[in-house]
Amino acid sequence: MSAIVEQVLSGEVLGVTIAFTLTVSLRLLIPEHGRKLLRQPVGFLIAHLVAMLVLGFVPDSAPLRRILAVVALVLLLASIGRSLVVLVLDVVVGRRLHRPPPKIIRDLTQGVVYAIVLLFALRAAGIDPSSLLTTSALLTAVIGLSLQETLGNLFAGLAIQLQRPFDVGDWIQFEPDDKRVGRVVEVNWRATTVITLDDVELIVPNGVLAKSPIKNFTKPSPRSRRSVYLVAPSDTHPRRVHQVILEAIDGVDGVLADPPPHVVTSDFAADGVQYWVRFWTEEFHRRDRIDGDVRDRIWYAFRRAGISMPYQTRTVHMRQENEETRAKAADAATHRREQVLRGIDFLEVLPAAELARVAGEARLRQYLAGELVVRHGDRSTDFFIVERGAVAILVPDADGPGEHEVAQLAEGKFFGEMALMTGEPRTATVRAASDCELLVIGSETFKQSLETSPDLLQRISHVLAERQAALEAKASERAEGAQAEVVNERENQILRRIRSFFSL
């Protein structure tokens, strides 16, 4: 019997015992989701036992016996080596670092172990490994040249793992092209796999990454700054533009309140003044959607504020329009608004002429879903009527700084009548529940009506008092007699407040 066969048979029991003990220990130490790491050592061990079983049926003089003995030895050593690698990297090192080791480190370590196993098996078979490596200098040179790029990627991957410019899960950009932005899903010995926002998988050789400047949008923190540029007319005060923009993007989903957004007047262009809107987000994967929401909010806010957005290219439409056409269009808009105002109970007391004047001076504002209309505690005095869409009414929480929704107002509903008539602070926050259009009436418009018709004070105060008493009675089920007394008392209070507010 040859020396290699005797060596395998003599160490069989000890080797199998070691391999089996290691696999059982790993089975107990590795969590459920990491059990797939046991497949290789268990597979090698089973293959070794099968090889030893076949070896028992092969005659001593058969050449196959020597080959099977070498294969059995390689399989047994591979099982032990693979178990040791998993034990050291995934159990000891992984638990200390609180994360699994990089795949490239595991692959290189495993490759070195397998190389040692192969060299040991060759030496046990009577083959000198050094003679194989020095047989042909030409073959060595050819192999070195053919593996030049592969080795370059290998060492670049090692450098990336040691320097750690990014980790799996980070968002990076490795070329000036914005399309070369994606989330790292794997770093192996040859290349790095990146998934873009278009769900396209990019396989980037590590050598390319080692030579390219890398932007990491996830480090040192997941917070990244976004920029939006826009142009406003040069005759609009920059501070007003800043204020309108900051109020518009307040509360946009994905935009951080801390650090707060900021606006910079960045350039004076031929078509207006350029503004640089800067804000921060922790949801980089939604960056395009968040940028779009910010632009939407700014567009709506500019429309409400009467700020136009000039463009370098313009299309000129020629049409004939005379004073009569413009007057008809204005009359139609005023008549439509007048019909809306007639549905408001405390406005029914206005004479027809005054109602038409109020309708003519009313303004139409557009709001994007989620935008703030008025805030609790504000002292604005505008009165709002929902012409299209809906708004949500929110009141402060009794036990915290937050707010909760108590109602939604749809088309034809209104709010802000007490602020309009008495100047009282807002008692609730109102946000647009959907894209909506609100008809807005200011206190100055009503002041003129009250000055020309002083008797309106009593009638409007009575209507407002009746409505407040009715709402309170509905909430507390107050009797009709008690309600009448409340109406009289409330009417006098409201009347005094209106006179004080309008200086009448």
Q: pLDDT for 447-466, tens place per residue?
A: 777 777 666 677 777 777 77
How far apart are the C-alpha atoms of 190 and 155, rounded to whole Å? 9
pLDDT: is 248 or 326 the higher one? 248
Predicted model pTM: 0.59
Residues 6+ apart with CB under 8 A from 384: 373, 374, 391, 414, 415, 416, 430, 438, 439, 440
Q: Looking at residues 270-296, what average pLDDT do you find?
A: 92
Place of tokens 């009282």: 424
Q: pLDDT for 384-397, tens place per residue?
A: 999 999 999 998 88
How far apart are the C-alpha atoms of 10 and 26, rounded to whole Å? 26
Task: Give the DSSP letter of residue 87.
Answer: I
How far apart are the C-alpha atoms of 104 and 119, rounded to whole Å? 22
Would the pLDDT of 206 be above 90? no
Q: What is the CATH code of the structural domain delimited by 149-216?
A: 2.30.30.60
Q: List residues bridging with 262 in a β-sheet.
A: 278
Confidence tier at 492 by pLDDT (50, 70, 90)? low
Q: Looking at residues 436-452, what average pLDDT do you find?
A: 83
Would the pLDDT of 58 be above 60? yes
- Does domain 226-305 sit in CATH 3.30.70.100? yes
pLDDT: is 369 or 17 the higher one? 369
What H or E segment, with its residue span, contains residue 50? helix 39-55
What CATH class has 340-502? mainly beta
Would the pLDDT of 487 be above 80? no
Residues 6+ apart with CB under 8 A from 304: 365, 366, 367
Nearest 5°: phi and psi at 262? -145, 150
Q: pLDDT for 86-107, tens place per residue?
A: 888 777 777 776 666 766 677 7
Q: Checking DSSP bridges between strand 171-173 and strand 181-187, what pairing results, if any?
A: antiparallel
Confidence tier at 246 by pLDDT (50, 70, 90)? very high
Residue 218 corresponds to which amino acid?
T
pLDDT: is 362 or 399 the higher one? 362
Place of tokens 């592969």: 150
